[in-house]
Structure 1
Amino acid sequence: MPPIGASGTIGSQHLALRDQVLAELRQRIVDGDYPPGERLTEDRLAADFGVSRNPVREALRIVEADGLVTMLPRRGAVVATPDASTIADLFAVRSGLESVAARLAAERATPQDVADLRALLDAARVATEQDDFSRVAELNTALHMRVITISGNRWLTSIAGSLYLHVQWVFRIGAAHRAPHSWHEHIRLVDAIEAGDADEAQAAALAHTDAAAHAALELADEA
């Protein structure tokens, strides 16, 4: 994996080095470049990112606190595998948040908001047809974050940033199975928002999160 940055290394960018490494490490875990169970040594990550071990060590501490990495005896840092308890807790929060956001979005969406959602749906359809599951996962997050923005509720927005890092990670692990179903469920949600039907938007959001939770829990049971 080549180092990141216009001049070949992550250190060529303008953000603090640790923050650059942290952002890239999170992204590679969420995208599945570093899959669950993979060992992440400081030396390996330093070579991947073209940096010294110090910013890598600091970034690993943060992703461990995020729950993306586990420190194991004699193995060190290993990409975490979401277990049933973690997934159930994640979706309990997600279900409540998305159902509220969907209801508010149906009440407040403008024609431009709906056009934005339709554009994300079209992009997700193309990515699904091309089996580009990292892109599908990104678009899945983008669509849900757009609904939350449309809702106009700043409390939902403030909660969503941290939550959707993990939502995207869990979705990406099972994306090959979930992507076509998720796309169709999103169509129902966007149709309800466009129609201004708050009850149907809420019902569509709940059905979607229930289906996603069921699929994620099945995958966890098989792991």
Structure 2
Amino acid sequence: MSTPPESKADYVYRVLLDEIRTARIPGGTALRAAAVAQRLGVSVTPVREALRRLENDRLIRYEAHHGATVVDLGDEALEEYYGVRAVLEGLGARLAAARLTPADLDSLRALHESMAADLARGRLTRLGARSLDFHLRITDIGGPAYLGQQARAVRTSVPVPAAASLWLDPVLAARQLEAHAAILHALAARDAATAERVMIEHVRQAGRHRRAH
């Protein structure tokens, strides 16, 4: 069965979502529908539809006399965000310890080794996206019916500015990979409590770094 063509509204939404999530459009930026339409070569109607979807995602808000503005999160919101992530992803790791198959473990190890190779070669810009993949794979294994979907929704709701990514610092990136290795070791040993504990601390460390930047 062929995939239906992407609508203009879907296209605008996809582009803006990526730009907001990667902070190429930073928090506090006003989004003018006419300007976005001109930049992306579409009419204003699909832009307005895309903006409504982004508002439902809580990535933008409408303010009187200002229109649509990208949400700029403060320290309290970031603390809450990383707290929710720690709970969800920690639970995902706990459940995954009992559910993962040998094939799952091999796949996670291959991803980890590939990330280590990227770090060794100085390909730091690839690590953030691959870390996201690592985390979501574990959550999907632990909670395929519900938890993985919720983890994705939380991740989508908060953009990560490039300057706040600890994966761009080789020393910090090495420490994060050590945490990934410890999580893998716990999963391989079916040690649910340790897998959860290490994952929670790993996520909280990312939150502390983010708030510092």
Asked whether the equivalents of residues 82 and 170 of structure 1 are also in contact (C-alpha less than 8 Å), the reply is no
Q: Cα distance, 1:204 vs. partner?
A: 0.8
Asked whether the equivalents of residues 86 and 203 of structure 2 are also in contact (C-alpha less than 8 Å), the reply is yes
Q: From the superposition, tell whether residues 103 and 58 of structure 1 become closer, same or farther in structure 2 (CA, over 3 Å).
A: same
Task: Using CA pairs under 8 Å that are at least 6 residues apart, name the structure with larger relative contact order, 1 or 2.
Answer: 2
Alignment of 1:70-81 (within 5 A): 70-81=61-72
Output the CA distance in 1 between the equivalents of 2:115 and 2:24: 20
Matched, 1:101 2:95: no
Which of 148, 155, 171 does residue 157 from structure 1 map onto?
A: 148
Matched, 1:148 2:148: no
1:64 is aligned to 55
> 1:154 aligns to what SS in structure 2?
coil
Output the CA distance in 1 between the equivalents of 2:135 and 2:109: 12
5+ long unaligned stretches in structure 1: 1-12
Asked whether the equivalents of residues 23 and 160 of structure 2 are also in contact (C-alpha less than 8 Å), the reply is no
Indicate the larger mover: 64-73 or 147-156.
64-73
Output the CA distance in 2 between the equivalents of 1:82 and 1:43: 26
Q: Cα distance, 1:130 vs. partner?
A: 2.1
2:32 is aligned to 41
Q: How many residues align?
A: 204
Q: Cα distance, 1:205 vs. partner?
A: 0.8
1:170 is aligned to 160
Which of 190, 195, 215 does residue 189 from structure 2 map onto?
A: 195
Which of 95, 106, 124 does residue 131 from structure 1 map onto?
A: 124
Structure 1, residues 82-111: CA drift from partner, whole Å, max 9, x if none?
212221222222121111111111222222
Indicate the larger mover: 13-22 or 109-118.
13-22
Normalised TM-score (structure 1): 0.79
Asked whether the equivalents of residues 140 and 148 of structure 2 are also in contact (C-alpha less than 8 Å), the reply is yes
| RMSD of aligned alpha carbons | 2.4
1:114 is aligned to 105
Q: From the superposition, tell whether residues 45 and 39 of structure 1 become closer, same or farther in structure 2 (CA, over 3 Å).
A: same
Q: From the superposition, tell whether residues 183 and 47 of structure 1 become closer, same or farther in structure 2 (CA, over 3 Å).
A: farther
> 2:29 aligns to what SS in structure 1?
coil
Matched, 1:27 2:18: yes
Q: From the superposition, tell whether residues 72 and 137 of structure 1 become closer, same or farther in structure 2 (CA, over 3 Å).
A: farther
5+ long unaligned stretches in structure 2: none
Output the CA distance in 2 between the equivalents of 1:69 and 1:123: 35
Alignment of 1:174-185 (within 5 A): 174-175=164-165, 176-177=168-169, 179-185=173-179
Normalised TM-score (structure 2): 0.82
Q: Cα distance, 1:171 vs. partner?
A: 6.9
